[in-house]
Amino acid sequence: MSSELRKRIITSIVLFMIAILLISINETIFLIGIFVIITISFLEWNKINYKYFSKRKKKDKFIYIRIAGAVYLFIFFISCMNVRMEYGKFFLIFILCICISSDIGGYVFGKTIGGKKLIKISPNKTISGSIGSFVFSMFPLFLLNFINQVDLVFNFSLKYIFFCLAISLSCQIGDLIISYFKRLNKVKNSGNILPGHGGLLDRVDGIIFAIPTVFILLKIQIF
């Protein structure tokens, strides 16, 4: 195991434990934690876009990029708050596990299988990695049914398989969008605060898109 991969694994475990604590302790601590996340993410969003949009002919567009980031992070904040309060902490942890599993699946399949590139805007993303993300996203659903100890209504049915796949798709779209802007600005990572990952935005890019997607799907009663 390479030192970089070891750092990535350790960082992921620590972040997951922190996330569980923030979700589980109480609503106030949770909201403070989410506020810190969106604040750091917003700063990193501005940082990765400054290089390209600070050019003379594009300066007027930078303000719109900043507004777009602020608006979407606000949507993420509202979605997190509502999902946590309306559907409970265990449900939010379940969603988080799907996002993480999707990310792990993409990394494992992409590194071990490789193959054809998924899209030009993110040259490190492969079709095999995307398939791996979809496959691994169903693991929390399988595990939840196997344990059968948590009071959630999810079961291993076609309906909830599609639910996991929808979350995985939104995670991948979020990852691709952030990757596009990083590539546009010719930067590898959004920051360097997380060993093995880069910036916080590099770690939560998929989750930022997934949770609002979940909130919308639940509100329109598709699931």
Q: Supply 221's token pair.
A: 């009663």
Count other Cβ atoms within 10 Å, centred on residue 120. 9
Question: What tens-digit pLDDT sequence spans the chain (223 residues)?
Answer: 556 657 767 777 888 899 999 998 888 999 999 999 999 999 999 998 887 877 766 667 888 889 999 999 999 999 999 999 988 888 899 999 999 999 888 888 888 887 788 777 777 788 888 999 999 998 888 877 665 544 455 556 778 889 999 999 999 999 999 988 988 888 888 888 877 668 899 889 999 999 999 999 988 877 6
Q: Is residue 87 part of a domain?
A: yes
> Is 118 part of any domain?
no
Residue 105 in any domain: the answer is no
Pair 192, 48: CB distance under 8 Å: no
User: Residue 36: inside a domain, yes or no?
Assistant: yes
Angle among Cα 128, 134, 137 to the nearest 5 degrees reads 135
Residue ranges making up the domain that contains 70: 3-100+158-219
Closest CA to 214 of 223, 204, 206: 223
Total of domains in the chain: 1
Q: Is position 143 within any domain?
A: no
Q: What is the pTM of this model?
A: 0.87
- Tell me, yes or no, whether 65 lies in a domain: yes
